[in-house]
Amino acid sequence: MATPSEAVPPLPVPINSGGRWTPETAPRAGRPKGCLNKTTIEVKELAQSLIENPEYRRNLMERITAGEAPQMEVLMWFYAYGKPKERVEHSGDFNLAEVIKRARERAKGIK
């Protein structure tokens, strides 16, 4: 029978003199960075199987051509030709430096 010290592998030893973990020796927990969680993978696989289904594709094509799926129609345009850039226009004289200066002055008065 294994003793408790044999059952659990020892933790890495901190390298620096302050007794703190370093990035090289710190224990790792959780899933690796950039790795998808199980639910995300399952949902993605389900969505892919639905999209790859010939019956679903045929039905979608019928709905789009009948005008019954306007959101999908717009999405198809975006995929086919790209989404146009959204432009925001404003009028008036806006000086960011002046706005910051006034905000700082107001903040001084609050203290």
Domain count, the chain: 1
pLDDT of residue 10: 62
Instruction: Give CA separation, 52 vs 29, 37, 60, in Å.
Output: 36, 23, 12
Which of the two residues, 2 and 48, has the higher pLDDT score? 48
The whole domain housing 78 covers 9-85
Q: Is residue 4 part of a domain?
A: no
How far apart (Å, rounded) are the C-alpha atoms in residues 35 and 41?
Answer: 10
Q: Is residue 94 part of a domain?
A: no
Q: Is residue 21 part of a domain?
A: yes
Q: Is residue 103 part of a domain?
A: no
pLDDT of residue 92: 76
Per-residue pLDDT tens digits for 10-59: 655 555 666 676 766 666 777 777 888 888 899 999 999 998 999 999 99
Q: Is residue 24 part of a domain?
A: yes
Q: Is residue 102 part of a domain?
A: no
How far apart (Å, rounded) are the C-alpha atoms in residues 51 and 45?
Answer: 10
Per-residue pLDDT tens digits for 47-87: 999 989 999 999 999 999 999 999 999 998 898 999 888 88
